[in-house]
Amino acid sequence: MTTTRRCLNCITPPYILKKLLESGEEEIRQAALNTLISTAQLRGERAVRASFAGSAAAPANGRRTIFDCRNSRFLPQATLVRSESDPPVADASANRAFDAIGATRDFYKKVFDRNSIDNRGMRLQGYVHFATNYNNAFWDGQQLVFGDGDGRVFTDFTGSCEVIAHEFAHGVTEHTAGLDYHNQSGALNESLSDVFGVMVKQWTLHQRAAEADWLIGADVFTPNIKADALRSMKAPGTAYDNKLLGKDPQPDHMSHYVKLPDTEQGDMGGVHVNSGIPNRAFYLTAMGIGGYAWDAPGHIWYESLKASSPQTQFQEFADTTYLKAGQLYGAGSAEQQAVLAAWNEVGIRVSGVPGGAEALRVPVLAGRGDGLVHDGTPIPALIRQIEALAAQVNALAEGLSVLTPKP
């Protein structure tokens, strides 16, 4: 019998922190080491707590409570600094966490009619100023926790809306599919947090898919670090490339899937690495459909998340998104074809679809970002119509050339 693994879900990949251990600056090395040690201890604490899990907390209609850890890593000693009905406080980190958690809660309610993380009004607890120089943020199964960064490489993790929404989404995944946090199911877990995190950012900014930067953690690095973000959904593997951090290792295609040990040192089988593949599939789907990512693409991914199970793999999830797209928007719809083409582009052919999506590849990749077809006409059929019209125009032109008198 397979046991579902519940791990601490962190935004900063362990391979970045390990790379920082090679830095020539003692402060950077020490902050990275302390973060790795604290995270490992927290994982152990969560595993113990999960084995003694009691009854679920009483519904609280998604009310927010923000606590200040005062640089301690012992959460029970944190001080309550802001509750749902309180005005802003002097602590900017507390206010940012309060606002972003609220925006994420509202996003799920307004877009997906979901009531908080567990869909039962779970209280939303955020903890700021966790530990000292802590270069991470995480969901531990009960609350959202944010470090201040070391001030040299990383800055305050509450400064990134999508980071907060990313951790929130880990809770949503835990209370829906419960995706096991290792190998492909774990990479899918991480990808879904990026997907919903970037949707929250775009929703708050009211950005269309074509207008967005599709970056995760664009604000977590200090200004002196040459890096775009932790990850790029548009172009996995391009978020950073420098001596301090190394090169972004994310693949964008199954042919480059990275096999790593299923250990903490191996990123649980590469959960933060291989998430680049489904990340790009969502980006391509959103660009192929056009408009806002949280509309059709978001609903397809959300319904597919709810239909998944702890051991769902990339192939199964791709098949589910294709099925859900057909159920939501019609078999053969532009939305379904965009999903088909997106997965094909990252090397995953949807099961049971003759010929895969080769006929759709060029239209989706050349998409204008505002949708290729708006009347429901299948893209291949539209292409055939254009080609037929072009042939008729050429034939007419040739006929006119015969009828036109020569000078």
3-state secondary structure 177-221: CCCCCCHHHHHHHHHHHHHHHHHHHHHHHCCCHHHCCCEECCCCE
Q: How many CB atoms lie within 10 A of CB 362?
A: 12
pLDDT value for 366: 33
Catalytic residue among 129, 162, 166, 167, which?
A: 167
The pairing of beta strand 79-83 with beta strand 9-10: unpaired
| CA distances in angstroms from 147 to 71, 73, 156, 259, listed in the order given | 8, 10, 6, 30
Residue 13: both structure tokens together: 């990949």
Residue 165 CA to residue 168 CA, distance in Å, equals: 5
Detail the DSSP E strand segments found in 16-118.
64-68, 79-83
Nearest to 60 by CA among 3, 143, 131, 130: 143
Q: How many residues does the chain have?
A: 407
Residue pLDDT tens, the chain, 407 long? 334 445 789 999 999 999 999 999 999 999 999 999 999 888 766 544 444 444 445 677 899 999 999 999 999 999 999 999 999 999 999 999 999 999 999 999 999 999 999 999 999 999 999 999 999 999 999 999 999 999 999 999 999 999 999 999 999 999 999 999 999 999 999 999 999 999 999 999 999 999 999 999 999 999 999 999 999 999 999 999 999 999 999 999 999 999 999 998 999 999 999 999 999 999 999 999 999 999 999 999 999 999 999 999 999 999 999 999 999 999 999 999 999 999 999 999 999 997 554 444 434 333 333 344 333 444 444 434 444 544 554 454 444 444 444 44
**Boundaries of every domain in the chain:** 377-407
Tokens of 340: 């088909």
Q: Which helix (H) or strand (E) holds 348?
A: none
Could you write out the DSSP letters of every residue in 363-378? HHHT--SS-S-SS---
C-alpha 306/C-alpha 300 separation (Å) is 10
Residues 285 and 342: beta-carbon distance below 8 Å:
yes
- E strand or H helix that includes residue 82: strand 79-83
C-alpha span between 371 and 294 (Å, rounded):
14
Q: Dig out the tokens for 204 from the structure.
A: 């708050």
Does residue 335 have an active-site annotation?
no
Q: Helix 314-329 and helix 296-306: axis angle, to 10°?
A: 120
Q: What is the value of pTM for the model shown?
A: 0.85
Choosing from 162, 272, 316, 345, which is the catalytic residue?
Answer: 272
Rounded to whole angstroms, the Cα distance separating 1 from 317 reads 22
How far is the CA of 84 from the CAs of 96, 139, 141, 163, in angstroms? 13, 20, 21, 21
Q: Which residue has the tokens 């505002």?
A: 370
Give the DSSP letter of residue 227. B
Q: What is the pLDDT of residue 382?
A: 44
Known catalytic membership, residue 129 = no
**Residue for token pair 């879904």:** 192
Angle at 94 between CA 89 and CA 95, to 5 degrees: 65
Within a 10 A sphere around the Cβ of 47, how many other Cβ atoms?
14
Query: From CA 368, how far away is CA 401, in angstroms rounded?
Result: 36
User: For the chain, how far is it from start to end, CA to CA, in angstroms?
Assistant: 87
